[in-house]
């Protein structure tokens, strides 16, 4: 949540984000994601890949740390 806030992506709660990820890539609907399911799912879903890339971009975090 902190990384998302620093990057300006606070329109979705952590729970909403997690639910959205599971809805899109839990292919066997068992309520669990293996690493393989996660990687394959994100690679197939361009919108999810973009969202995750932006949400977890640490460059703004580093800028905040460097500026004190």
Instruction: Give the span between the Cα atoms of 3 and 29, in whole angstroms.
Output: 28
pTM more than 0.95: no
Alpha helices, DSSP H, located in the chain: 2-6, 14-25, 35-44, 46-55, 59-66
pLDDT value, residue 28: 87
pLDDT value, residue 7: 56
pLDDT value, residue 44: 93
**Which residues does the chain have with pLDDT short of 50?**
none
What is the length of the chain? 68
The two tokens of residue 7 are 């990057």
pLDDT value, residue 30: 93
Q: 54 with 6: CB under 8 angstroms?
A: no
Instruction: Give the span between the Cα atoms of 3 and 10, in whole angstroms.
Output: 9
């Amino acid at each position: 949540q902190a990384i998302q806030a620093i990057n300006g992506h606070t329109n979705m709660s952590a729970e909403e984000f997690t639910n959205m990820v599971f809805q899109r890539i839990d292919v066997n609907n068992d309520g669990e994601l293996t690493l393989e399911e996660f990687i394959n799912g994100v690679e197939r879903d361009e919108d999810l890949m973009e969202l995750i890339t932006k949400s977890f971009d640490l460059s703004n975090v580093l800028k905040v740390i460097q500026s004190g």
